[in-house]
Amino acid sequence: MARINDHYLKLKAGYLFPEIARRVRAFAEAHPDAPIIKMGIGDVTEPLPEACRTAMIRAVEEMGDPATFRGYGPEQGYEWLRQAIAQHDFQARGCDIDASEIFVSDGSKCDCGNILDILGHENTIAVTDPVYPVYVDTNVMAGHTGPANDRGEYAGLIYLPITAENQFTASIPTQKVDVIYLCFPNNPTGAVATCEHLQEWVNYARAHGSLILFDAAYEAYISEPGIPHSIYEVEGARECAIEFRSFSKTAGFTGTRCAFTVVPKSLKGQAGDGSRVDLWSLWYRRQSTKFNGVSYIVQRGAEAVYTEAGQAQVKGLIRFYLENARIIREQLMAAGIQVYGGVNAPYVWVKAPAGLSSWDFFDKLLHRCHVVGTPGSGFGSAGEGYFRLSAFNSRANVEEAMRRITSTF
Amino acid sequence: MARINDHYLKLKAGYLFPEIARRVRAFAEAHPDAPIIKMGIGDVTEPLPEACRTAMIRAVEEMGDPATFRGYGPEQGYEWLRQAIAQHDFQARGCDIDASEIFVSDGSKCDCGNILDILGHENTIAVTDPVYPVYVDTNVMAGHTGPANDRGEYAGLIYLPITAENQFTASIPTQKVDVIYLCFPNNPTGAVATCEHLQEWVNYARAHGSLILFDAAYEAYISEPGIPHSIYEVEGARECAIEFRSFSKTAGFTGTRCAFTVVPKSLKGQAGDGSRVDLWSLWYRRQSTKFNGVSYIVQRGAEAVYTEAGQAQVKGLIRFYLENARIIREQLMAAGIQVYGGVNAPYVWVKAPAGLSSWDFFDKLLHRCHVVGTPGSGFGSAGEGYFRLSAFNSRANVEEAMRRITSTF
C-alpha cells in the first residue's frame, strides 16, 4: 500500500483557528440569539478599494476579446506588477531590490510553507514563541521536528520567547541556527522591530550563515516614523534574508488573493558537497514547476494598489483599522487591562486579567461578552496568559465589543 | 550556512518549454519579420466565456459593498462551487463523489506537485513515457529519484512506455509500484483510455495497494461516446485513485486560474507503523495549512461554467478547438504524415517525417515553416521521433500553419 508522510501524524490535532470555530459554533448553537462579535481571525472586513475593483473589471473585460485575452502568464508574475512592487515598496524606501527578485504569488501562507521545498532537512530551525502557527506546522510536515511535548513544543525546533520582558522582540540566540523565522510587525503581539534590532539579527545571520525568513505581511500598519518596513532597509540583509509580503492586510485582499516573496539574487545556500547555490534560482525553478502564476485579473487589481487613487484608498483602509486598534487599546487600558501592540499593527496583545489562562479568558469573553478573540497560548507556550484581539472589524462592532468587555472585566 | 534541497541539483537544466522559448527567441531575433505561429505550449487563445465574465464582474462588485464583501474563504473552496462540480462532473455521470471530496485549487500543476507532500518517500513511482514533465520533476525535487541518465531518465522511477505498438495506453506493470501517474486524454499523445483499460489499472492498483494519480485535465475534449471522463466511472476507483481536473482547458482559464482535485474519503495510505490513514484528512490538513483558497472572484467565474449559458459557451469553445484538431489531423494525413490523437484531445501527436528526430523536426519546422511545436522527446525518451501540435489557436493560424507544413514536407 502507498506510504503516507508520517510526519503529518505528529501535528497536534487542533490547528488553533478550527478549535476556536468549534467552541464558537457550540456556543452559538446553545445561544442562537447571542450577538457574537468576532475579533479572532485576522480577516479584513472593509470593501476592496475602488481602484482595485475598477482595474479588475477592466481585466475581466479584456478576457472577453481575443486581442486582449490572456492565457498562461509568467509563473513569477507579470513584469508590470513586479516593477510596481520593486519601485514603490522597496526602491522608494532605499532598498536595493530589483523587479526580477519579486515573485508574485497567491498568498504569504503558501509562500511561507512552500519555501521549505528548496531547503534541506539538515537545518536547525528557530521560531519565536508565540509564533504564527504555519511556520511551525509546515516544518513538522516537512519532517524537520520530532514529536510535540505537552506544551505543544516540537522536539528539534529552537523556540525564542518574545515576552514583555524583552519588549516582544526575539533575543538573538546563543547557539547557531540555520533558519530563523521573524515577523515584524509581529503577529500575534503587534510589536515592531527597530532598525538596530534588525541589524543585530542580520549581523548574527551573516556571522553564522543563517537564513532569515522575514514575514512583513503587516508592514503597511507601521504608523510611527523610523521603523523599518522591510528587512532590506538594514545593511547586509540581501545576503541573508527572504521577505514575505501580502496584499491581504494592506489592500483587503484576503478573499482576492495576491502576495509576493522577495528572494535577492545575492542570497546563497549550501549544497551537500559544500558548494554555494543561489536560492533565487531554486525558488525560480520551484515556482516554474509547481505553480502557474496568479490570475491575470487579480494581478491587475494588485497593480492598481500602486496608482495614486489606489494609494489614497489603501491608506484610508489602514487608517480605519488603526483607529479601531486605538479604540481597543485605550478602552482596555482605561479599564485597567494591560495591553501591547496595536500602534503599528492591527493586533492588540492583551494580558488576560486576574491571572486567567488564555483559554479561560477566551471562554469568559465568549460566554459573558459574546466576543471572540484568539487565545495567546494557541501561538505558543510563551503566549499563555495573553490574548489577541484583531482590529479588523466595523467601527460599530469594535465599539460595542469594548463596551461589553469594559463593563464585564 | 543554511543547507539547500540537494535534489534540485539533479534536475536536468532545461525544462522543456523554456528551451523551446530560447530557440524561438533566437530565431525571432535573427528573423524579425518571420510570421511565427506558435503551436507549442498548450495554451488557450479564445475569449473567456461570457457567463464566466459576467459572474466575475458581479463578484468584483460584491467586493465593493461591506454587506457582500468576502474575506478569507474556505481553503477547500466554497460549498456552492464544490456542489456544482460534484453534481455536474461526477454524480451526473454516475460517479459516487461527494462535494466534500472536491478540493478547489488554483491549478492542476500545483496540485499534481503538492500531492507529494502527503505521501512518504518510500514509494515506488511509475510514470508513462512520454509524460507531462511536472510529474517527474516534482518527484525529483522531493528526493524520490536518483540522478538522470543521458536519455533524461531518473534512477528509481519506473517508466512505462506508451507507443503506437500499445495504442498509446500504458501497459500494466509486471512489478509492484506504489504510485502511478496516468493522464487520459493523454498529454502529449492525445490518446484516450477505454473503460476496460482503466478497469485493468484499477484492478492492478487494488490488488497491489497502489495509488493512481489520475490527471483528467482534458476530459472535456472527449468527443466519442463510451469513453470514461473520470476514473470514478470505473468500479473500485474510489479505493485507489485521486483525480486532477482543471478549468484551464475546459473553459479557457489558463490565465484566470481554477482547478480541483478529488480525494475520495475511502482512500487509504499506510503509515510507518502499518496503520491505515485517510488520504482525505491529510490533504485537508495540507491545504488548510499551506493554501488559502482560490480568489472568490475566480470561484464565481468557475461556478458559472455550470450554468446553462456557461455550458453552451464552454461546449462551443471545445468544438472550436476540436475542429482545429481535425484540420491538423486531416491535412497532415493527406500530406502523408502519420498522426495520432486529436479526436478526443486538443493535441495531435505527429510522427516526424523522414525519420527525423524530434528536435530536428522542431528546428526544420521553425526555420522553414515558422511554426513552433513541441518535440516529443521533451516528454520522455519514448517520445523521440514524435512531435506534439496543439489545437489551441485561431482558425486562421491553424489553416496557415497547415498550408506551410504540407507545402514543405
pLDDT tens, residue by residue, A259-270 = 999 999 999 999
Contact A325, A336 (CB under 8 A): no
B2, B43, B255 ranked by CB distance to A210: nearest: B2
Taking the C-alpha atoms of residue A179 and residue A401, their distance in angstroms, rounded to an integer, is 40
Average pLDDT over chain B, rounded to an integer? 96
Say if B13-42+311-408 and B53-306 have the same CATH topology: no
Please, which residues bridge with residue B3 across strands? Answer: A270
What's the pLDDT score for residue A137?
Answer: 95
Taking the C-alpha atoms of residue B362 and residue B374, their distance in angstroms, rounded to an integer, is 7
List phi, psi (to 5°) of B48. -65, 140
Give the closest-approach CA distance of B50 to chain A in angstroms: 7
Where b means 16+ CB within 10 Å and e means fewer, B100-127 reads ebbbbbbbbbbbbbbbbbbbbeebbbbb
Are A269 and B118 inside 8 Å of each other by CB? no
What's the pLDDT score for residue B216?
Answer: 98
Q: Binding residue per annotation — B166?
A: no
Chain B, residues 115-134, CB within 8 A of chain A, namely: 117-123, 134
What's the pLDDT score for residue B357?
Answer: 97
Q: Model confidence over A206-233: pLDDT tens digits?
A: 999 999 999 999 999 999 999 999 999 9
Are A138 and B289 inside 8 Å of each other by CB? yes
| Domain B53-306 sits in CATH 3.40.640.10 | yes
Q: Which residues of A touch B119 (CB under 8 A)?
A: 2-5
Cβ atoms within 10 A of the Cβ of A94, count?
A: 9
Q: Which residues of A touch B114 (CB under 8 A)?
A: 290
Taking the C-alpha atoms of residue A83 and residue B14, their distance in angstroms, rounded to an integer, is 26
Give the closest-approach CA distance of A409 to chain B in angstroms: 31
Query: Considering Cα of B67, then B70, then B74, then B76, what sign does the dihedral take?
Result: positive
Are A141 and B277 inside 8 Å of each other by CB? no
Does residue A21 sit at the B interface (CB-CB below 8 Å)? no
Q: Which residues of A touch B45 (CB under 8 A)?
A: 66, 69, 71
Average pLDDT over residues A2-9: 97
Cβ neighbours for A153, distance < 8 A, ≥ 6 positions apart: A129, A159, A380, A381
Would you place residue A15 in the very low, low, confident or very high pLDDT band (cuts 50, 70, 90)? low
Give the closest-approach CA distance of B409 to chain A in angstroms: 31
ipTM over 0.95: yes
Q: Binding residue per annotation — A8?
A: no
The SS3 of residue A42 is coil
Give the closest-approach CA distance of A152 to chain B in angstroms: 17
Q: Does the pLDDT value for residue A401 go beyond 90? A: yes
Contact A257, B104 (CB under 8 A): no
Question: What cell was used for A190?
Answer: 503587534
For residue A90, which of A259, A228, A226, A199 has the smallest C-alpha distance? A228
What's the pLDDT score for residue A67?
Answer: 95
Taking the C-alpha atoms of residue B89 and residue B393, their distance in angstroms, rounded to an integer, is 26
A69, A276, A290 ranked by CB distance to B114: nearest: A290
What's the pLDDT score for residue A409?
Answer: 86
Are B3 and A71 inside 8 Å of each other by CB? no
Are B394 and A70 inside 8 Å of each other by CB? no
Q: Which residues of A touch B50 (CB under 8 A)?
A: 64
The SS3 of residue A199 is helix
What's the pLDDT score for residue A12?
Answer: 84
Q: Does the pLDDT value for residue B109 go beyond 70? A: yes
Q: Are strands B211-215 and B179-183 parallel, antiparallel or unpaired?
A: parallel
Please, which residues bridge with residue B243 across strands? Answer: B214, B262
Chain centroid, CA A96 distance in Å: 23
Q: Which residues of B touch A296 (CB under 8 A)?
A: 255-256
Are A138 and B8 inside 8 Å of each other by CB? no
The SS3 of residue B185 is coil
Would you place residue A150 in the very low, low, confident or very high pLDDT band (cuts 50, 70, 90)? confident
Q: Binding residue per annotation — B168?
A: no
What's the pLDDT score for residue B409?
Answer: 86
Q: Which residues of B touch A41 (CB under 8 A)?
A: 72
Average pLDDT over residues A238-252: 98
Residue identified by cell 481575443 is A66
Does residue B291 sit at the A interface (CB-CB below 8 Å)? yes
Would you place residue B356 in the very low, low, confident or very high pLDDT band (cuts 50, 70, 90)? very high
SS3 string, A49-95, reads CHHHHHHHHHHHHHCCCCCCCCCCCCCCCCHHHHHHHHHHHHHHHCC
List phi, psi (to 5°) of B106. -95, 5
How far lies A220's CA from each of A85, A223, A251, B70, in Å?
13, 8, 9, 21
Are A285 and B61 inside 8 Å of each other by CB? no
Average pLDDT over residues B147-174: 92
Average pLDDT over residues B373-399: 96
A63, A291, A293 ranked by CB distance to B53: nearest: A63
What's the pLDDT score for residue B18?
Answer: 77
Helix ranges (DSSP H) in B121-258? 133-141, 195-208, 248-251
Residue A173: enclosing H or E segment and its boundaries? none
Q: Model confidence over A152-194: pLDDT tens digits?
A: 899 999 999 999 988 898 889 989 999 999 999 999 999 999 9
Average pLDDT over residues A310-336: 98
Please, which residues bridge with residue B196 across strands? Answer: none
Taking the C-alpha atoms of residue B409 and residue B350, their distance in angstroms, rounded to an integer, is 13
What's the pLDDT score for residue B13?
Answer: 66
How far lies B56's CA from each of A17, A107, A276, in Å?
29, 20, 46
Counting one residue from chain A and one from chain B, the pairs whose CB atoms sit within 8 A come to 268
Are A56 and B297 inside 8 Å of each other by CB? yes
Average pLDDT over residues B294-305: 98
Q: If you classify domain A6-47+309-408 with CATH, what class do you get? A: alpha beta
Would you place residue B323 in the very low, low, confident or very high pLDDT band (cuts 50, 70, 90)? very high
Q: Which residues of B touch A256 (CB under 8 A)?
A: 63, 295-297
Average pLDDT over chain A, rounded to an integer? 96
* CATH code assigned to A53-307: 3.40.640.10
Taking the C-alpha atoms of residue A387 and residue A338, their distance in angstroms, rounded to an integer, is 11
Q: What is the DSSP letter of A9?
A: G
Does residue B63 sit at the A interface (CB-CB below 8 Å)? yes
Are B3 and A272 inside 8 Å of each other by CB? yes
B13-42+311-408 CATH choice from 3.90.740.10, 3.40.640.10, 3.90.1150.10, 3.40.50.170? 3.90.1150.10
B122, B254, B286 ranked by CB distance to A72: nearest: B254
Question: A25, exposed or middle or buried, with CB in 10 Å at 0-12, 13-18, 19+?
Answer: exposed
For residue A38, which of A26, A15, A21 has the smallest C-alpha distance? A21
Q: Does the pLDDT value for residue A13 go beyond 70? A: no
Taking the C-alpha atoms of residue B266 and residue A293, their distance in angstroms, rounded to an integer, is 32
Q: Which residues of B touch A122 (CB under 8 A)?
A: 3
Average pLDDT over residues B16-20: 82
Would you place residue A41 in the very low, low, confident or very high pLDDT band (cuts 50, 70, 90)? confident
Domain boundaries, chain A: 6-47+309-408, 53-307
Q: Does the pLDDT value for residue B251 go beyond 90? A: yes
Does residue B11 sit at the A interface (CB-CB below 8 Å)? yes
Task: Give the strands of the sheet with B339-341, arranged side by side.
Answer: B339-341, B347-351, B386-390, B374-375
Does residue B385 sit at the A interface (CB-CB below 8 Å)? no
Q: Binding residue per annotation — B248?
A: yes
Would you place residue B233 in the very low, low, confident or very high pLDDT band (cuts 50, 70, 90)? very high
Nearest residue on chain B to A77, judged by CA atoms? B255
Are B4 and A282 inside 8 Å of each other by CB? yes
Give the closest-approach CA distance of A337 to chain B in angstroms: 30
Taking the C-alpha atoms of residue A85 and residue A254, their distance in angstroms, rounded to an integer, is 18
- Chosen from A8, A58, A135, A249 to mutate, greatest number of chain B CBs within 10 A: A8
Cβ atoms within 10 A of the Cβ of A29, count?
A: 8
Q: Model confidence over A71-84: pLDDT tens digits?
A: 999 999 999 999 99
Chain A, residues 247-286, CB within 8 A of chain B, namely: 252, 254-257, 268-272, 276-277, 279, 282, 285-286
Q: Does the pLDDT value for residue B348 go beyond 80? A: yes
